[in-house]
Amino acid sequence: MATVYLSLGSNKGDRSQYIARAMEALGAHGVSVRRKSSLYETEPVETTSKSWFLNCVIEAETNLLPPQLMHTLLDIERELGRRRRVPRGPRFIDMDILFYEDRVVNSEQLEIPHPRMAERRFVLVPFAEIAPRVRHPILKKTIAELLKETPDRSEVRPRQTKSAE
Which amino acid would we find at residue 45?
A: V
Kindly state the helix (H) or strand (E) to which residue 72 belongs, with its residue range. helix 66-79
Dihedrals φ, ψ of 41, to 5°? -80, 125
- Please, are residues 94 and 123 in contact by the beta-carbon 8 Å criterion? no
Kindly state the helix (H) or strand (E) to which residue 21 belongs, with its residue range. helix 15-28
Which amino acid would we find at residue 115?
A: P
Active site residues: 82, 91, 94, 96
DSSP secondary structure of 82-148: ---SSTT---S-EEEEEEETT--EE-SS-EES-TTGGG-HHHHHHHHHH-TTPBPTTT--BHHHHHH
